[in-house]
């Protein structure tokens, strides 16, 4: 029971620690701002305390936001009492500031990770809208009312002062507090060398010096001095340095304003400039500098990503058998990445500026076809397969896609080339397996029918002959000697049949002990002579068996000549009928249909 009670107390303490620390920090910043930047009963020119509270909320889980916000409201009310505010006035200030932080946090955490809102240049529009406009505008009603009651300002003047002070505070100091809390500032410094750090420090020192000279001088033209080092910070320092420079300018400008220094432009007799001059000037710097810095940071980030991608691409290409080629519209190679020696057996520089015939003499037409197809159909990939016989006997595959520039204009194609020799060999093996008899190595039924159908597509009458062969009394061989002997007989007869025909002829095993031969010749006498020679060759020599014994086999053959319009089935049936007659006539002979 005691341990459970202790754990509950520890849990409550851990949950309350962060809001208490946030409230204490808010009190310190708020009290310091009120003490050092308000004079004569005026509102502070820049309010930084809300930026601290917003930064803490953005970096913590959303469930902790209400407690942190409540701690900030209480701290705000307490910090206002020593300045002479009544409790009601201090409460109005605190509620206004609490409303502002809540609106800004809700807007920035609505669509994305709020902790990256002020560190990601792409979020600049959201930051300007929520932190620079909506949040301070919503809180200025309560804050302006409190200032009107306490400082006797006009309501419009109090509203404008509150709006400008809080908007500048959120825009300038929230990025600084966020960078300190989430470690961005530490990582930014750690990732830079000494020379780079000295350069940034020099630019920030120049900015501070220019701001001091401009704000504490009575010469209006000196205000332009602030713009020059600020631009240098934007161009050379980057996104983080720009945020720090704005904070420096704000500190110095606020100090000059509270001390009564400054040019007639900022402290002149004109009421608007007298009240809001420093705030308007800093706001102008933010409006000009922040978007420029954001665009440059986004561009630099894009360049870094492209550089990393380029390095990764080169590393990947160097470790894998892939070649990337870029071609212009005319088919000239403009860029090469990858293993050129491994794939195309030539150095890198030999491919840049090369045309398709130079890249592969054997595959030039396939490459040109795929390149042109990719230019015509820019939404799809187009493949070219070619064989590099002269360089090394290998198959290559090139996949082309259209290549576009930044404006979306097609400027050529990009091709990925890789070795597909193993795949082609596998495809060839699978093709042969599907059409080849595994026992004899001849065409199987499917393979022979495919060959016959293809031959009949362009055959003229009398130009093809078909022989159907059957082993005489093969069943007795199997029954008396076994299937192993039968297989030996089948393989040997298949070899003897193949030895008597040309490579352009087709020999197949239809199943069992039935063979077929397709002879592509119009000489009918020659056909019958070949068939007779096959029968004689099979029977002339005994077949040696694995056991060392031998047996003599014989075959019967029926042969038919192709007739006009004859189908494959009818052609085979005619030869089969002749075979039946040969077997009835005594076997071991040829009968022509």
Which positions are catalytic?
513
User: If we measure between CA atoms, which residue out of 239, 285, 284, 291 comes closest to residue 124?
Assistant: 291
HSE value, Cβ hemisphere, 13 Å, CA-based, for 416: 11
SS3 417: strand
The answer to whether 57 and 69 are in contact (CB under 8 A) is yes
User: Alpha-carbon distance 130 to 223, whole Å?
Assistant: 29
CB 591 within 8 A of CB 557: yes
CA separation for the pair 119, 131 (Å, rounded): 14
Q: What is the 3-state secondary structure (H, E, C) of 484-529?
A: HHHHHHHHHHHHHHHCCCCCCCEEEEEECCEEEEEECCCCHHHHHH
State whether the Cα torsion 6-7-9-10 is positive or negative: positive
Please give the structure tokens belonging to residue 169.
């505070």
Question: How crowded is residue 307: how many other Cβ atoms within 10 Å of its Cβ?
Answer: 10
Q: How far is CA 472 from CA 294, 346, 407, 421, in A?
A: 92, 60, 78, 45
15 is written with which tokens?
A: 């949950």
H/E run at residue 232: helix 224-232
**401 membership: H or E segment, kind and range:** strand 395-404
Spatial neighbors of 456 by CB under 8 A, at least 6 apart, are: 464, 562, 566, 567, 568, 571
Tokens 């340095």: give the residue: 241
């Amino acid at each position: 029971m005691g341990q459970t009670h202790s754990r509950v107390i520890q849990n409550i303490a851990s949950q309350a620690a962060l809001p208490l620390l946030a409230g204490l920090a808010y009190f310190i910043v708020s009290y310091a701002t009120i003490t050092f930047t308000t004079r004569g009963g005026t509102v502070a020119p820049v309010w930084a305390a809300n930026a601290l509270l917003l930064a803490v909320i953005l970096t913590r889980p959303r469930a902790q936001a209400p407690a942190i916000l409540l701690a900030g409201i209480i701290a705000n009310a307490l910090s206002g009492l020593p300045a002479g505010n009544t409790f009601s006035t201090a409460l109005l200030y605190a509620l206004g500031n609490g409303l502002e932080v809540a609106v800004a946090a809700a807007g920035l955490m609505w669509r994305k990770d709020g902790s990256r809102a002020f560190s990601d240049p792409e979020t600049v529009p959201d930051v300007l809208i929520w932190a620079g406009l909506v949040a301070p505008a919503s809180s200025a009603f309560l804050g302006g009312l409190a200032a009107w009651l306490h400082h006797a300002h006009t309501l419009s003047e109090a509203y404008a002062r509150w709006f400008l002070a809080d908007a500048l505070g959120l825009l300038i100091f929230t990025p600084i507090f966020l960078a300190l809390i989430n470690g961005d500032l530490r990582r930014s410094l750690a990732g830079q060398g000494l020379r780079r750090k000295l350069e940034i420090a020099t630019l920030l020192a120049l900015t501070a010096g220019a701001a001091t000279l401009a704000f504490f001088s009575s010469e209006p033209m000196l205000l332009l001095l602030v713009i020059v080092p600020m631009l240098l910070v934007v161009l050379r320092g980057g996104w983080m340095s720009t945020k720090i420079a704005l904070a420096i300018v704000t500190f110095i400008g606020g100090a000059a304003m509270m001390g009564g220094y400054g040019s007639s432009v900022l402290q002149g007799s004109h009421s608007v400039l007298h009240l809001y001059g420093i705030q308007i000037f800093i706001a102008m710097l933010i409006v000009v500098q922040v978007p420029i810095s954001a665009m440059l940071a986004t561009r630099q980030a894009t360049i870094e990503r492209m550089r990393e991608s380029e390095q990764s691409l080169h590393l990947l290409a160097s470790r894998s058998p892939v070649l990337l080629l870029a071609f212009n519209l005319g088919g000239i190679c403009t860029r090469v990445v990858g293993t050129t020696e491994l794939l195309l057996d030539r150095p890198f520089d030999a491919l840049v500026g090369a045309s398709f015939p130079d890249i592969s003499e054997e595959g030039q037409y396939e490459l040109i076809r795929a390149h042109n197809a990719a230019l015509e159909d820019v939404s799809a990939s187009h493949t070219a397969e070619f064989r590099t016989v002269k360089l090394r006997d290998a198959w290559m595959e090139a996949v082309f896609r259209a290549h576009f520039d930044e404006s979306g204009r097609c400027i050529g194609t990009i091709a990925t080339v890789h070795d597909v020799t193993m795949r082609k060999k596998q495809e060839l093996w699978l093709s042969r397996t599907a059409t080849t008899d595994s026992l004899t190595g001849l065409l199987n039924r499917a393979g022979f029918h495919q060959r016959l159908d293809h031959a009949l597509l362009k055959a003229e009458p009398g130009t093809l002959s078909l022989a159907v062969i059957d082993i005489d009394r093969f069943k007795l061989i199997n029954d008396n000697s076994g299937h192993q002997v039968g297989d030996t007989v089948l393989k040997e007869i298949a070899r003897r049949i193949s030895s008597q025909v040309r490579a352009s002829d087709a020999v197949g095993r239809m199943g069992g002990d039935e063979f077929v031969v397709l002879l592509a010749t119009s000489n009918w006498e020659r056909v019958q002579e070949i068939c007779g020679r096959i029968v004689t060759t099979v029977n002339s020599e005994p077949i040696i068996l694995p056991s060392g014994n031998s047996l003599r086999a014989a075959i019967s053959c029926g042969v038919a000549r192709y007739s006009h319009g004859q189908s494959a089935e009818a052609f085979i049936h005619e030869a089969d009928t002749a075979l039946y007659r040969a077997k009835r006539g005594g076997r071991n002979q040829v009968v022509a249909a």
